[in-house]
Structure formats: structure tokens, C-alpha cells
Structure 1
Amino acid sequence: MLRSSLTQVFRQVVRNWSTDTSLILERSINRVQLLGRVGQDPVMRQPDGRNPVTIFSMATNEMWRTGDGQAGSTGDVSQKTMWHRVSVFKPGLRDVAYQHVKRGARVLVEGKLDYGEYVDKNQVRRQATTIIAESIVFLSDNRDKE
């Protein structure tokens, strides 16, 4: 009895292993961390009758010093600002973000990258990159209170 059950299980494993390679899953990582300031107050949308989403923009800055590369040399400081679109789908986090994220607030957003397409009002197909937030850490109120 036990021997026939083990044989049956073994045959099933071998059959799946030899014919179905979709069972082999590789581990991969899609993680993003952004530390910056909120560019606009969040809006909540419910696209096409699906789950609501809270959306806001966020700015991060990259700074560098230009110069001849010599130690102790002074040069001009340059800055580049990058804007990111953040979407929050998790029900509890979505509501907290909508109520408490404000323009100018400093936040840490952790999540994943998502690439998509949409058709704008002129019927032109556009690409969009979005950060899907999985956690938000509030680091300060807006700039006026700092």
C-alpha cells in the first residue's frame, strides 16, 4: 500500500518535472526607495470602476560639484530634480496617504516600479512610469513648519 502510493507520487513528480518547466520560478527583485518632497497634494481616483488609488508626485534631487577634480578645489554646485509619480493601492495606506500627505512634506516611499501605457486626450499613445507604494514614512510636515 505504502509502496504503491510512493510510486504514484514519484511518477507524478517525474512527469511534471520532465514536461512542465513553468514550475521552476526564479527569484527576482523590483524595489524602489525614494526620499524627497511631495510636489502636489494627493488625489484619489477610481479608474474604470476598479479599486480606488491615491496619486501624488514626488521630487528627488541629485547634487554634484563641478570642478577640476583636485582635492580642496572649489567648484559650482549643480542640482538636478527628478519628478516621480506615486500610486497607492493598499486600502489602509491609500486612505492615510490621501488624508495626511501634503505638498512640501518630506517622505520616504518604498515600493516597486511599474511601466504602462495610456492614450492621452489627443489619442496619442504615451508611456508612463509609476512607483507603486507599499509603505510611506512621514519624516516631516511641510516646509513652512521646518
Structure 2
Amino acid sequence: MDKSTEELIKKRIIGIFPKLATDKNFKLTSPINPNYNCLAWACHYNDRWMQPPSITPPPLDSVVYWPEDAKQGMEIECLIDAFRTKGYELCDSWEYEDKYQKVALYVKKDSKTWTHAARELRNGFWTSKLGQGYDIQHGTPFTIEGDSYGEVYCIMKRIF
């Protein structure tokens, strides 16, 4: 992708997530790929759509995945339960800790339904899959808070 196209795409993304405008670590890290979503990306998958099977089918011919022992639903507790099956536990800090991997789970304000998950990278930055679109890197889990994804509800971590 040429530089001008990339800048145009970044400008559009900033229009949706205005806090990224001041995030010096914001960058595009992949082309559009509708085969996986933010939950799958947070769990290190890029070949499936992670959601409870009872929710509206994903786009195209995506494979639907949900941990078999996790509660199903859109309530944030169900998403926390799904990440617990992957070894994550609630923690108090979003900041980088050596030997731990963290995820941030998002909810809309005044709601208890989940909207998004972001994953911490080994360099301490964060990564998000934006719907069916691009993967991005951002400096903190808070720079994508806003009208689209709401706010960080909790941080979870697991040992690498």
C-alpha cells in the first residue's frame, strides 16, 4: 500500500477513534481481512470468527469458534469467562509486565454487553482488529475508547 493510501485510511480510522490522533504508536499492521474478528485476534487466531454460536452468523464462510466450557452470551461476564478458559485472569493494571500477556475487554457506557477486545503485544504496545477491517497497533488500550467500542471494562492477564 502506498503512503498516501495508508494516510487516508489512518485518517478515516482516526475519525472513528479520535484519541488515535495523538497516539504516536498508532499504525496499520495488516490489510483488511474479514475471516477473523477482534476476539479471535486477541486470542492469537486469524483464521476464525470468535463469538458464541447463538449470535448472528459471521460474514462470509468464516469458521465460528467459542470455547466449549465458556458461558454463551453478549454479557461481559461471558467474555471474561471465555478468556478464563484461555488462562487469563482479571488484573489491576494495563501496563506491561514481563512474562505476562494482557487483554483489554470493552463495553459500551452504561451497558454490560461486550463490544471489543484488544491484546497487548510483547513490545508493550496494543493491537486491535477493527471489525472485518484492519489490524492496528496502538499505544494503550484507552486510545480506542469512544462511541464505537465504549470503554475498557477490565484487563486480564496470563503467563506467556
- Which range, TM-score by smaller chain? under 0.3
Q: Which has the larger radius of gyration?
A: 1
- Normalization by structure 2: what TM-score? 0.20
